[in-house]
Amino acid sequence: MNKIEDPLYTPIQVTSPDKIGPYLLKDKIGEGGFSHIRFAINVLTNQKLVCKIIPKRLLMEKNMESSLENEVAVLKKLDHNCTVHFYDLHYDTLNYYIMMEYCRGKTLLEFINESPKLSEGAVRVIFKKIAEAVKYIHDLGIVHRDLKPENILVNGNDVKLVDFGLAQYCSCDIDTKCGSLSYLAPEVLSQNTFNPYAADVWSLGIILYSMAFGHLPWTTRTPKELANQILRNQYFIPFGVSEPLKQLIENILNPNPEKRFNIQEILNSEWMTSFTPDQPVEVMEKIPSIVCPKIHTKIVKSNHIRIPSIDGKNLLKLTKRVPDRIALNKYHRRNLSNLF
């Protein structure tokens, strides 16, 4: 496993009550770079929920107040069986509290790492639902901007796309660079502006590769090496998979966003339209032995990488274990060149 330990890392500190409005806040079940997630119960209906707790001070420190508005606006719009449902928003002097659907199961990251090699049929069952969820939000004019296995929940054949903290409505190219490094499209790293819909599709390609082979396509150990490998499109497709799957991966991971498949082309592809029995994904075949590079990157939980200052000091501040998440704004973008 490739790790980069950060001596500067301190976990996010969140102080929250045991009740907000009609909701009891129970055990913490997760945390992100800007929030804690707690199990919650509506005392009026006994409904189980999850509560995303976002400290106000953190939003102010990072000038990210608008990101909360974007997230809530997006969540309120979603109405699809493969996307998480929004229920309520509360706040107090310390935090904002987003109440969302409680989804059973585990993250796709956990599912991949705990499962044997998935058959192409099993991969197709899950990936088709992920792609349909992404098509749904794209049709609404919404880009996710942080598609990765940690943000997808799997329970049998049920799939949920979650964590819309970086999502936004978009009708044109954008210049805000954010997401998780292992899943970033090359144009996000190299261009001043880019098509965020095409960037979402690239992230789907990395997810598909990871599901098919059990590891990321990149074989590097540092953020700089990883960024260079993405820009050079240096990845290897192991033997033992069908030609239609190989072609689909190559069409999604096309470094030219104008020639890259769009979400509808993915759903219409030969591999995606192949027949797959609607069986529980726990019942899986093992794919044939595959030939891989000796060094590969195990899929591990993403880290946040920030460029915290305009002068480039502490250029890469890793806030978890592995260098994956980059959040850049227009004032910091010029420092991206220091990665190379």
Query: Which residue positions form the known binding site?
Result: 52
Q: Are the beta carbons of 247 and 237 closer than 8 angstroms?
A: no
C-alpha angle 141/257/215, rounded to 5°? 95
Site of tokens 């989804």: 103
The structure tokens listed for 297 are 């990157």
> How is residue 217 annotated by DSSP?
S
Q: Give the active site residue among 18, 88, 146, 278.
A: 146
Query: Which residue positions form the known binding site for ATP?
Result: 52
Q: Are the beta carbons of 65 and 71 closer than 8 angstroms?
A: no
Whether the CA torsion 59, 60, 62, 68 is positive or negative: it is: positive
Q: Is 92 a catalytic residue?
A: no
- CA max distance for the chain: 56
Cα distance between residue 167 and residue 144, in whole Å: 4
Count of all residues that appear for the chain in the document? 340
At residue 224, the 3 state secondary structure works out as helix
At residue 16, the 3 state secondary structure works out as coil
| DSSP assignments along 156-204, one per residue | TTEEEE---TT-EE-SS-B--EEEEGGG--HHHHH-SSB-HHHHHHHHH
- Positions marked catalytic: 146
